[in-house]
Amino acid sequence: MFKPQQKTFALPHLQTSTIEDAYDQMELLGFPLCSYFDLINETLQPHIKAKELKQHINKKVLLYGVLVNTRFHKTTQGKRIRFCTFTDQDGHYFDTVHFTKVVHQYPIHGIGVYACYGTVTSDFDFCSLDIIWSRKLEVIGDPRG
């Protein structure tokens, strides 16, 4: 009977970037939908991947990984050691041990990409990295302001 009148609106095109989208996702979801490696603001040094650990037993190596989990334990002397799990750029897991000499000197500060330098050890055919030093890599700043 009556034909309603419709208004048409011209919506402006909103400019956005993948970095802005990643920060929005971290704000809303608690994590980005892209890889954390896409958000780092540093050039990666020559390194190995987690799947290559068995080829480097008793050698010092550098790995880059996104923190998955971390936990503290106490030694028999009551000193703290830290165990961490990371994933490398290919999504493979690797574990690290931060003994009492380095646990406070090189702290872990939340999720992000870390450079992990240490000695590869193997127990029961499982490799891990005894940390000599580690540091969290710098991320690209939030462009949203």
50 in a domain, yes or no? Answer: yes
Count of domains forming the chain: 1
- Rounded CA separation 57/96 (Å): 14
CATH code of the domain containing 102:
2.40.50.140
Count of CA atoms in the C-beta half-sphere (13 A) of 26: 15
Residue 45 identity (one-letter amino acid): Q
117 in a domain, yes or no? Answer: yes
Q: Is 138 helix (H, G, I), strand (E, B) or coil?
A: coil
62 in a domain, yes or no? Answer: yes
What's the token pair of residue 23?
Answer: 């920060």
121 in a domain, yes or no? Answer: yes
For 109, the domain range is 41-136
Task: Write the pLDDT tens digit of every residue in 36-93.
Answer: 999 999 999 999 999 999 999 999 999 999 999 999 999 899 999 999 999 999 999 9
What pLDDT does 4 receive?
A: 84
